[in-house]
Chain A
Amino acid sequence: MIEFLKEVYAVMWSDLRFMRHHFLNIFIMSIMSPLLYLLAFGYGMGRGMTYEDIPYVAFVVPGIVALTTLSTSFSSTSTRINVQRLYYYSFDEMMMSPLRNSAIIIGKSMMGVIRGSISGGIILLIGLYITPDLHLTPLLIASILISCFTFSFLGIMAALLAKSHQSISTFSSLIILPMTFLCGTFFSVSLMPGAFQFLLYLLPLTHASICIRASALDWVFPWTSLLILLAFCASFFLINVYILKTKM
């Protein structure tokens, strides 16, 4: 186990140094979009509104936290691996070293998890300050972390399969952007037509939103959604290990 953790650390070390070299830039990039969403939807459209018997801002903050974990974790891992694989070729050096594929995947996911947690955490702290309806609970922290891991693994998968930088942009436009707006982040999925609801429940962000919102608002916790999110997380991880073993 210690050996495995050392391998994970070896893989994440370069990403930690990268973050240190570009801290301010990364920090601003990570919180800009969620802050704009909070201003536009929380204060702009949502001022004075209530939703499911709570102020809309209390409803929307957990959704923005969920979408932040998605966008930040996904883009952090996918962009960095894409650059290392297709432009720097430094990904090859890692593949030539005697590291386990599972350690490579977890190590490469850590930058996404750290950045996703920091960005989501900042939005959450602002939310806790501006509305008393939100609560910091262990289940909330667990939900955010699982969400970050899931979308980091998804980012790794997209980067490992990408043939060019354009491929990542296409994936983001077709999969990530629609998820951002439709998966229960700004409104409840239950408002959508039945067939569409079914489709949305097939996407991981829907379950991340449900878990984060329920735990932040002290609602009954949706254990089924948490299990589904964990299943997505495990599946993305295993697919990544398989890709490294067979395609790289």
Chain B
Amino acid sequence: MENIIEIKGLVKRYDDKVAIDGLDLTVRTGEIFGFLGPNGAGKTTTVRVMSTLADFDCGTVYICGHDIKKDPSKAKACIGMIQQRISLDKDLTIRENMILYSLYHKISSAERRRRIDALSEYIGLTEYMDNMVDTLSGGWKKRAAIVCALIHEPKILFLDEPTVGLDTQARRLLWDIIRRLNNDGTTIFLTTHYIEEAEALCDRVGIINRGKLIDIGPPEDLCSRVGATAVEYFHNGVKTQYRYFQNREEANEFVSTLPEGTTVTVRRTNLEDSFVELTGESVGRVR
């Protein structure tokens, strides 16, 4: 199967507000796909629809070839989900949460034991398995959520803003886990408003704003659409301005025309430049 996710004409409304506005999107099997956009763009709503947690008004959504409206059970069996907020049962230990998830997915007890041992070692959680969820730090909780989401060996893992609230070290460890999972065959769909994260992890990125898909492609392609080099300049108290050029020579030529006393930065274009040019809005907080 080439496309593991196929969305056509998806519309989701909350009362009068349109959260997703005619979204068409495909995600290829085996890739890390990033959904980039500002807060409130419709990223989480799209993931909630795909994971069957939210209903939708129009359109079709196929996960692993299964229509999530007509055949939700088969679609659910293919999905693992890490929500933005930790959604483990905090009255239970990590091991108990893993057992619970395996019961939800009807995994036999012998297979359950094998997978719990293997996954806890894979993610590096072995020594914390009998700790209550709330005794762990944010990074470890995230790891615990990942092992639970992987217990039924899903074909696709949804990660909704996976690194929000994590420190740099925990964030980079999580990135390694995501890459390793992808190398081992799991398709990854992650939402983020962190440019750096999308650039570091994703094979392809979709930019969403106000419920509409603005552009889609590999990060380097999206960047090159506005040019290869960006010039940021600030003069006389006017807000920082940006110009984009196909190469550094053109950028340098432009810089030489700026008045004396202008603060100038010349750098490679990034996804935020692309986003701003495409939508006229800031992508959100950039680390």
Residues of A within 8 A of B86 (CB): 89
Residues of A within 8 A of B77 (CB): 98
Give the residue name and chain of the B residue nearest to A13 (CB).
B103
- B205 contacts chain A at the CB level, 8 A cutoff: no
Docked complex Cα distance between A187 and B85 (Å):
49
Partner of A14, one of B51, B55, B73, B89: B89
Residues of B76-111 at the interface with A, using a CB-CB cut-off of 8 Å, are: 76-77, 79, 81, 83, 85-92, 96, 99-101, 103-106
- B286 contacts chain A at the CB level, 8 A cutoff: no
Evaluate contact between A10 and B91: CB separation under 8 angstroms. no
Evaluate contact between A18 and B76: CB separation under 8 angstroms. no
Residues of B within 8 A of A96 (CB): 51-53, 76, 79, 81
Evaluate contact between A17 and B92: CB separation under 8 angstroms. yes
Evaluate contact between A13 and B90: CB separation under 8 angstroms. no
Evaluate contact between A97 and B76: CB separation under 8 angstroms. yes
Evaluate contact between B90 and A88: CB separation under 8 angstroms. yes
Evaluate contact between B104 and A89: CB separation under 8 angstroms. no
Taken residue by residue from 193 to 218, chain B's Cβ proximity to chain A (1 for < 8 Å, 0 otherwise) reads as: 00000000000000000000000000
Give the residue name and chain of the A residue nearest to B74 (CB).
A98
Give the residue name and chain of the B residue nearest to A245 (CB).
B55
Evaluate contact between A84 and B76: CB separation under 8 angstroms. no
Q: How far is the CB of B187 from chain A (nearest CB, A)?
A: 17
Evaluate contact between A98 and B73: CB separation under 8 angstroms. yes
Give the residue name and chain of the A residue nearest to B105 (CB).
A97
- A52 contacts chain B at the CB level, 8 A cutoff: no
Evaluate contact between A13 and B99: CB separation under 8 angstroms. yes
Chain A count of residues within 8 A CB distance of the other chain: 25
Taken residue by residue from 221 to 233, chain B's Cβ proximity to chain A (1 for < 8 Å, 0 otherwise) reads as: 0000000000000
Residues of B within 8 A of A248 (CB): 53
Contacts A9-B103, A99-B104 given; does A17 touch B52 at CB 8 Å: no
- A92 contacts chain B at the CB level, 8 A cutoff: yes
Tell me whether chain A's interface is mostly helix, strand or loop, or mixed: helix
Residues of A within 8 A of B73 (CB): 98
Taken residue by residue from 17 to 33, chain A's Cβ proximity to chain B (1 for < 8 Å, 0 otherwise) reads as: 11001100000000000
Evaluate contact between A88 and B89: CB separation under 8 angstroms. yes
Contacts A14-B92, A95-B53 given; does A90 touch B104 at CB 8 Å: no
Evaluate contact between B87 and A88: CB separation under 8 angstroms. yes
Partner of A97, one of B96, B99, B104: B104
Evaluate contact between A92 and B99: CB separation under 8 angstroms. no
Docked complex Cα distance between A7 and B76 (Å):
15
Evaluate contact between A89 and B101: CB separation under 8 angstroms. no
Evaluate contact between B53 and A90: CB separation under 8 angstroms. no
Q: How far is the CB of B156 from chain A (nearest CB, A)?
A: 12
Evaluate contact between B89 and A92: CB separation under 8 angstroms. no
Evaluate contact between A98 and B105: CB separation under 8 angstroms. yes
Docked complex Cα distance between A6 and B83 (Å):
26
Partner of A90, one of B81, B87, B103, B105: B87
Residues of A within 8 A of B89 (CB): 14, 18, 84, 88, 90
Q: How far is the CB of A63 from chain B (nearest CB, A)?
A: 33
Contacts A84-B89, A95-B53, A97-B76 given; does A10 touch B104 at CB 8 Å: yes
Give the residue name and chain of the A residue nearest to B51 (CB).
A96
Evaluate contact between A98 and B99: CB separation under 8 angstroms. no
Give the residue name and chain of the A residue nearest to B90 (CB).
A88
Docked complex Cα distance between A94 and B76 (Å):
11
Q: How far is the CB of B10 from chain A (nearest CB, A)?
A: 18
Evaluate contact between A10 and B96: CB separation under 8 angstroms. no
Residues of B within 8 A of A10 (CB): 100, 103-104, 106
Residues of B within 8 A of A21 (CB): 91-92
Docked complex Cα distance between A89 and B53 (Å):
12
- A93 contacts chain B at the CB level, 8 A cutoff: yes
Give the residue name and chain of the B residue nearest to A19 (CB).
B91
Docked complex Cα distance between A21 and B106 (Å):
24
Task: List, sorted by A's number, 16 A–B pairs whose CB atoms are closer than 8 Å.
Answer: A3-B106, A7-B106, A10-B103, A14-B89, A14-B96, A17-B91, A18-B91, A88-B91, A93-B87, A95-B52, A96-B76, A96-B81, A97-B76, A97-B101, A97-B104, A98-B73
Sorted nearest first, the 5 A-B pairs with minimum C-beta distance are A97-B104, A10-B103, A89-B87, A98-B73, A90-B89
17 further interface pairs, Cβ-Cβ under 8 Å (given A10-B103, A95-B53): A9-B103, A10-B100, A10-B104, A10-B106, A14-B91, A17-B91, A17-B100, A18-B89, A18-B92, A22-B91, A88-B87, A89-B83, A95-B52, A96-B52, A97-B76, A98-B72, A98-B105
